[in-house]
Amino acid sequence: MGLVHATADIVPSKKQLVRSWLPSRPWADGVTKVKVVAGYRFDDPAGEVGIETIVWRTPDDVLLQVPFTYRAAPLAGAEGHLIGTMEHSVLGQRWVYDGCGDPVWAAAMVSTVLTGGTQAQVVYERDGELVQAPARLRVRGSGSPDATVPEVASVDSVVDDGSVTVVTTGPVTIRLARVVGTPLAGSSTLTGTILEDPMVLTLATLV
């Protein structure tokens, strides 16, 4: 379950962070203006790291996929994947990383794909009560609940290959479509459907 503090103040905002970071990404083609289309979250079994992927739309109607991880302290060895820091009025300072460089994101992606999992249910806290938020982007892995899931303890390499980012974890390689709609190799898949659009999108594959 992903808990969102609906009334929290976040400075800078996620949009501000991603706008300052995207121009340095080869797959973003220098874009600086984007708006949120939809997103999905995964759970961290340890409950320490926030895991959220947001799909952004550019002025040219291109969909870009950016996974974020939110941490209460810096992730050792991941300086090259740091998007920035933000102040959260409830949680305090948060270090925001490109999820592709974070082993917690990689482990969650591998587990979701191989076990046929879905996005985490998002709930908002309002006036002391938890309220479920409807999903705008529904994702599902292609595997089955009885699948064997290898342990993912580290990220060995992150390489941008055109519109795809290739994440090597040791036992598994993840191919993430940075530009949504890019063809992806691999038989184990994470697909998603944006509720406003019935088209099924391949968001990531494992090889």
Up-side HSE of residue 170: CA atoms within 13 Å toward CB? 10
Quick one: average pLDDT of 94-105?
Answer: 97
pLDDT in tens, 31-56: 989 999 999 999 999 989 999 999 99
Residue with tokens 């088209």: 199
Contact 205, 189 (CB under 8 A): yes
> How confident is the model over 60-81, as pLDDT tens digits?
999 999 999 999 999 999 999 9
Phi and psi at residue 134, to the nearest 5°: -65, 145
* The predicted structure's pLDDT at residue 3: 56
Does this model's pTM top 0.75? My answer is yes
Within the chain, how many helices (H) and strands (E) appear? 2, 15
Query: What is the reported pLDDT for 7?
Result: 58
> What are the boundaries of each domain within the chain?
2-206
* Predicted confidence (pLDDT) at residue 25 exceeds the cutoff of 60: yes
pLDDT at 6 over 60: no
Share of the chain above pLDDT 70, in %: 92
Residues 164-195 have pLDDT tens digits of 999 999 889 999 999 999 999 998 999 999 88
Whole-angstrom distance, CA of residue 85 vs CA of residue 87: 7
Q: How confident is the model at residue 134 (pLDDT cuts 50, 70, 90)?
A: confident
Q: Inform me whether the pLDDT recorded for 99 exceeds 90.
A: yes
For the segment 197-207, the average pLDDT, to the nearest whole number, is: 88
Q: How far apart are the first and last CA of the chain?
A: 28
Q: Which residue has the tokens 């494992």?
A: 206
Q: Are 171 and 150 in contact (CB under 8 A)?
A: yes
**For residue 1, pLDDT beyond 50:** no
The answer to whether 121 and 132 have CB atoms below 8 angstroms apart is yes
| pLDDT of amino acid 131 | 74
User: Which runs of E-coded beta strand occur in the chain?
Assistant: 2-4, 10-11, 35-42, 50-57, 63-71, 82-88, 92-98, 122-126, 129-132, 137-141, 157-161, 164-168, 173-177, 188-194, 200-206
